[in-house]
Structure 1
Amino acid sequence: MAIIKCPECGHQISDRAPVCPSCGVEIAGKITLCKNCGEAVFKDQATCPNCGEQLKATTPPPVHTTTQPVPPTPKRPSAPQQPAENEQGKSRKTIIIALAISLVICGGIFYFYSSAKSDRCQEAYEIAMKSDDPLLLENFLNNYSDAPQEQIDSVSSRLAMLRKGDEEWMNTLASGSKSALEEYINNHPDSPHNSVALHKIDSIDWAAATTANTLESYKLYMDEHATGEHIDDCKENLATLNSKTVQPEEKEAIATIFRHFFQSINSRNEDGLASTVSSFLTSFLGKSDATKSDVITFMHKIYKDDITNMNWRLNNDWNIEKKDVGGNQYEYTVTFTATQNIERTDPSKEKSAKYNIKATIGAEGKISSLNMVKILE
């Protein structure tokens, strides 16, 4: 079996179909293919209407030959004429035979027409039952009102289901709710609207992520939309935000450096104190380009003769700003307060003070600047 174009109307049909379901012309046994262009043509056509190829051999011109005269045939005596009644009987018999032949021809035409119509109906039914287009199902019901009742019932039922689904989709679309869109997809896994629903869910989640503009919101979008429409933008925003956001482990590392710094002052540990600062500090207590020696000198200077003990306590009120300095390296600007408790031999002197501290932690993880301002209370 092959699919051809009807030579009469051009519709795609099987070469074994009795008639074309579109125009009704006979097909089976009446069609041949042009050897030149391959187009389907009627067998009784002399030339291909598509390319003009000769399909039937032309009748050669008659050859003129000289014939010998034929001698006349002697006449035979004519048979006696039959009675008029016999002639009338033959006439009636001829009429009956002609009527019978006409009935057979009409019956054949009706059979082929009914068969072709039934085939068209069956084909249209199968197409309708596979379609999600309500208009196509409506066309079947309008064009094949005499189809078998079970087919009409099936198509009507599917049409009602599609109309209900369209109504649900319009309501879902109007709500603009992510939960409603997800519920629609779950209830209608084969709906043609699901691609639009997924697109809208992606857009809703991306809008939420950019509005929050946090590491958590971008990570959530990536978890739920690994191949989402905004995945590249999400990764870029996440990297940018990560370069500015202080992670909990970074905050803890910064706090550890300052605790070590002040604990070394409490215990007058020169080596410990020197290990927390850079070799050169851009600023230390107002002095530019300070060194480790300047920091150690500061520690000894604050221990006056009457001071027997000193304890610096950090108040953990950190404010940390992160700066990308390239090469996946970061610099941190830190502000916080610290309380200085002093034990003295002279009870009339100050025993406690509080300071605002602003410092910088360089990319190497050491203090690169530190300045303090006493808070007057």
Structure 2
Amino acid sequence: MRKVKVDLGEKSYHIVIGSGLGEELQRFIAAADFSRKALLVTDSNVGPLYGQQIKSLLQEAGLCVELAEIPAGERSKCLAVAESLYTKAIELGLDRRSPIFALGGGVVGDLTGFVAATYMRGVPFIQLPTSLLAQVDSSVGGKVAVNHALGKNLIGSFYQPKAVFMDLSLMRTLPKREIATGMGEIIKYGVIYDPDFFSFLEQNRQAVLNLEPDAATHMIARSCEIKADVVSQDEQEAGLRRILNFGHTMAHAIERETGYVRYNHGEAVAIGMIGAADISCRMGLISESVKQRLIDLVERMHLPLLADGCDVDAMYHDIFHDKKTVGGKVNWVLMTGIGSVICRDDVPEDVVRQAMAARISQ
């Protein structure tokens, strides 16, 4: 078992990583000042596999738990589903000290966190991420949100969990595509922060894709350490935290143009990272060989290089609805090497359009 601290003063919390974390979770609950009534939110994929198991663990820890299951998929990350969870919380009589647990992937975590942040102006929130993508990305850092028809994650807040428990034993049922999807965000951490971690992924590709215990634990813990370090320095994205958006500007446009159903988030990020690397290259910030190194790793991790069903004009329009666009200027996170990036808001339109065209399947 490994622990990573997210150091945010009074809002600090630990990420616990290991296999069979039931007793650790129960000890955490026993030491917390929670009300007895609790809500456990999951989705229609994870619920049938682990919902009752986790509910029993929480009940053994002394909580009176109601299990709420939402439809799996990005479409559930909306105000209508959030309202159904508010109704459930009110009907159950949850108070300001009643904990809400998120059991599932990024959609469940983001939606549940948004509900926890806004129900009675904030109740305790605990993340129990079950997908590799959620473990290394959305469950860490306190960003919670729902989508709007005009853009992803436009309605949300910063709201830190009380703890994050990443039980690797819950990952044994992950499909191979879900493992590859997580690699999209994991590769990002090497690009933006740690060249040695990028090299580790290059040299241990099969071990990490197979989720071999030592490789998986290191990969997840190092990803969380990097994100925790960035978030600890810039909780609300005033500066440094923007680097975590590497690849996301183009990725969000791809997701929107394909209805959030063709590509998983990590797949879209993989394409978006190559797009950002292409812009970096066109701007003279990196060499072709550095860009190719990223392309090679993305491809070897079984992630897509091109997007189907997209149009350059539509994608270019989409980026101005992204929450990273301020004053009509798009803040691009661009590479200056493996392990280093910068933010630029002066990328010419023709460069963006060329990079987008290069990422669209013809």
Same fold (TM over 0.5): no
TM-score by length of 2: 0.17
Give the TM-score, by structure 1 length.
0.17
More relative contact order, 1 or 2 (CA 8 Å, 6+ apart): 2
Which structure shows the bigger proportion of residues in helix conformation? 2
